[in-house]
Amino acid sequence: MAEISTNFISWVCMEYIFVADKINTVIFQFLCVPVLILKVLGLILNFKIHSSVNYQSLVTCSP
């Protein structure tokens, strides 16, 4: 009887870990996607800002 209960408990724990892992993965993906999009947008905007600033400084500072 004790064996069955420990097996059951370990099975429940395994299931719980599996489910928690799945939920964490889903949450992580939901959080990651906007962060990645923001990072990409930031990089693009950063690049545009830098290139326009560099262009401006080249235009204004060129002798």
Given this model, what pLDDT does residue 37 score? 83
Indicate the pTM of the whole model: 0.37
Query: Could you say which DSSP state residue 49 is in?
Result: H
The string of pLDDT tens digits covering residues 32-63 is 777 778 888 888 777 776 666 665 655 566 44
Q: How high is the pLDDT of residue 15?
A: 84
Q: Where are the domains of the chain?
A: 1-63
Q: How confident is the model at residue 16 (pLDDT cuts 50, 70, 90)?
A: confident
- C-alpha 9: how far from chain center: 33
